[in-house]
Structure 1
Amino acid sequence: MGLLEGKNILVAGVTMNTSIGYAVAQVAQAEGATVLVSNFGRALSLTRRVVQKLDPVPPVLEVDVTNDDHLAGLPDMVREHVDRLDGIVHSIAFANPETALGGNFLTTGWDDVATSLKVSAYSLASLTMACKPLFGEKSSVVGLTYDARVSWPAYDWMGVSKAALESTSRYLARYLGPEGIRCNIVSAGPLETIAKKAIPGAEQFNDVWSQRAPLGWDPRDLTPTAKAVVALLSDFFPATTGEMIHVDGGVHSTGA
């Protein structure tokens, strides 16, 4: 029996087969879960194509996490396929690469900052609350971050947004814990995703990891991160919430 046998999981933010969300969907299915995925807008057609490689092919829901109508209609969309959700994966982030990333921190305008915060951090709360009517007694919410306890070159306002995401997860853990809902974060090292490629200067991250990861680090291997997400979705962490699990080869534990 797999770790997620009999569980229904929504993975929000699957665009390419190099997306962390895709790897999570793949591992979750292998562990027995019924998986649904979501995306929106122009990326939706990419999602529908790429999930054809999964077995079984999961339903694809159109969900823009900044659209109140989409969030309000999400429970009904889910119920067309499953009667409940046992977990959701938040694999969603956006910041304008021309103004909010790549060393532009000191000159980024509020509108771009607000967009990054809303899409990358606030959406963890809004998506969770949209799905809450579908949750059972032991549901799990898992988000993805790039350790925002420190600053990183070029990451700029996305780093601030990830810090907000991490804090949002802790507050969700506080307020939803009495209802048996866990909320945790996985902090991955640099992975060759479409999101990373959009960050000007992100190749610097690989240099850091090649020098400092005690376990070594393969930026093309999404499986360790996906396995950590699946473990947190499972019943193997029944008393863990508000936590950030590092899957980074150990870099977070080193100094210079």
Structure 2
Amino acid sequence: MGGILEGKRILVAGVTMDTSLGFAVAKVAQDQGAQVIITNFGRALSITRRIAKRLPVEPAVIELDVTNEEHLAGLADSLRAHVDGLDGVVHSIAFAPQEALGGNFLNTSYADAATAFHVSAYSLKGLAMAALPLMKEGGSIVGLTFDASVAWPAYDWMGVAKAGLESCARYLARDLGPKGIRVNLVSAGYTKTIAAGGIPGIERVENVWSERAPLGWNPTDSDATGRACVALLSDFFPKTTGEIVHVDGGYHAMGA
């Protein structure tokens, strides 16, 4: 019996380590029958190629820098070497310079804040448009966020960028809906990834998470997040778009 993504072709943009949320999505997607292609760029590309071997089926790895217009323009052709279309796209990409994180909010330059916004928010639109030529039959775009409705310790301009990402997803849902493409986000609970580990002071978030999440929360287990993304990539949410699904043990709903 096939899985809920049987026969579907899924692009997961932004996979570095096997602790990354993108890796978790790729793994569950493969477990559910999808053909998966993953991306990274620059010096991290060689790491991604090694990590790809740890997935159930070694996927194709292509280079994609979402801030590089040439990469975006060539994405459809790069993908056509492996698939004849796409049914789903996962945006698992975020970055902010150190100067934009760790309690430096008031002193961050516009250039550093703009970098955070470009990589972490605007790139959702760029990736969607680059993949669009291969999504002629519609499909699903899923991005990963970290609840931008509140201010977090140390998160600073990345939090602002995530707010931009969440708004961007709603506008994409509006404009891509007529093409049969759904756009949703998964707001994952705090997870110990390489990216999270690079934020000075973020451990203050980790310390309170398990106390407030009524379902409990394990910051080293990203399987629940991967499952939610795969559910949104599947045909089980045919009329859901512009939504943010919280996968955080219920943390977001608790006042204290």
Superposition TM-score, scaled by structure 2 size: 0.99
Secondary structure at 1:137's aligned position in 2?
coil
Report matched runs for 1:50-89 at 5 Å: 50-89=51-90
How far did 1:205 drift? 1.1
Q: Unaligned stretches of 5+ in structure 1?
A: none
Distance 1:187 1:208 in 2: 17
Partner of 2:157: 157
Distance 2:251 2:222 in 1: 17
How far did 1:53 drift? 1.2
Amino acid in structure 2 at the alignment position of 1:220: T
Q: Unaligned stretches of 5+ in structure 2?
A: none
How far did 1:181 drift? 0.3
Partner of 2:50: 49
Distance 1:55 1:222 in 2: 16
Partner of 1:142: 142
Partner of 2:255: 255
Report matched runs for 1:1-256 at 5 Å: 1-97=2-98, 99-256=99-256
Distance 2:9 2:210 in 1: 37
Amino acid in structure 2 at the alignment position of 1:8: R
Distance 1:45 1:173 in 2: 34
Distance 2:47 2:124 in 1: 23
Name the % identity: 65
Secondary structure at 1:136's aligned position in 2?
coil
How far did 1:136 drift? 3.3
Superposition TM-score, scaled by structure 1 size: 0.99
Amino acid in structure 2 at the alignment position of 1:230: V
How far did 1:164 drift? 0.2
Secondary structure at 2:25's aligned position in 1?
helix
